[in-house]
Chains A and B, each alone.
Chain A
Amino acid sequence: MESMNHGLGVDIAFLLLATLAVVTGWRVFRTDSMVRASFFLLVSFIAVGVIMILLAAEYLGVAMFFMMAVEMTVMALFMVMFMMNPAGLNPMNMVHQERIAIGAGVAGFLVLGAMALLATFPDQPVPASLDPVRSLGNEMLGDSMLIFESAGLVLLTTMIGVVVLSSHRGRYGAAAEGSMPPGLEPGGDPAGKPEEDEEGEGGHHHHHHHH
């Protein structure tokens, strides 16, 4: 892997990809169609993934393709399901506090850009002998296995949380509806339930918003 002494071709490719990433990233918020916006974001991510591959981080770049292709497809589906104007049939510009947002975005770019230009970072490129994919694999299943496995556990927790949040009887419905606390003794009356609730689920008045 020559990661430092790369040729002119890599520079040209980087320039094109960087332009593509920024322009499509910008177009995400400047298109009338929300589905198109999610595909613009996908293009921006893929451009960054190709740049990662140019930087010899092949695994990360390819992982980026797969992950983002799926993620943005899901996003486009959500746009069609829930959001207004998914097809961009009407002009759309749904923004609030735009001036503050532009200011914050420009300020963020200027501060980070100034850091990129003014700070000095150590010049320690990836050694030519290193195999990036192998070293990442050894790290993930070696010294940093706890971190890697924790990430997996957090993802599992997220799945459970997502099901809880998005299932019908959720945060905005009546959370305790239909639930019955266990009895104090086996087969006994439910603990801590008011008298009128004891007839069971049928007698409840439903006060969560259907529909």
Chain B
Amino acid sequence: MTLTTLLLLAAALIGIGIYGALSQQSFVMLMMGLELILNGVMLAAVAFWAFSGAGAPEGQLLTIIVMAVMAIEMAMGFALVVAVFRGKQADVTESLTGLKH
């Protein structure tokens, strides 16, 4: 377990997350891709804290902030899913064409 292997793992998680966020049609599956990206970001932050940060507490704080971002992303995402579903009975991105010209 070195910084390099940890960052490679984080890169893999972020890569899978990017694939998921770009490819999924369903809103919730799309959000799972975003969550996976943040998962990789948190792992990278902790890895840097543990191996390059000399134990600076701000490194851990950054991870807490990313966790808060994740919770916000999740809550707002679900709220938007509910709002869209109320309006259009839609659960896939293709049915939202309101801003398409």
Interface residues of A (CB under 8 A from B): 3, 6, 10-11, 14, 18, 21-22, 25-26, 28-29, 34, 37-38, 41, 44-45, 48, 51-52, 54-57, 59-60, 63-64, 67, 71, 74-75, 78-79, 82-84, 94-98, 100-102, 104-106, 108-109, 112-113, 115-117, 121-127, 130, 132, 135-136, 138-140, 144, 147-148, 151, 154-155, 158-159, 161-163, 165-166, 168, 170-173, 209, 211
Contact = CB atoms under 8 A, between A and B. Distances in A.
B29 A138 contact: no
Given A38-B32, A44-B39, A121-B3, A147 B19 contact: no
A67 B12 contact: no
B33 to A, nearest CB: 8
A170 B83 CA distance: 7
B15 A135 contact: no
A28 B46 contact: no
Contact of A34 (B19, B22, B29, B61): B29
Q: Is the interface of B mostly helix, strand, loop or mixed?
A: helix
Contacts of A140: 61, 64
Interface string B1-27: 101111111111111111110111110
A158 B11 contact: no
A147 to B, nearest CB: 7
B86 A78 contact: no
A121 B51 contact: yes
Contacts, number: 263
Contacts of B43: 48, 51-52
Contact of A155 (B19, B22, B42, B71): B71
Given A108-B15, A132-B55, A94 B92 contact: yes
B99 interface: no
B25 to A, nearest CB: 4
A121 to B, nearest CB: 5
A40 to B, nearest CB: 9
17 contacts: A25-B16, A25-B17, A29-B32, A44-B36, A45-B35, A48-B13, A74-B78, A78-B81, A79-B28, A105-B18, A113-B11, A117-B8, A147-B65, A148-B64, A159-B75, A163-B79, A166-B82
B48 A121 contact: yes
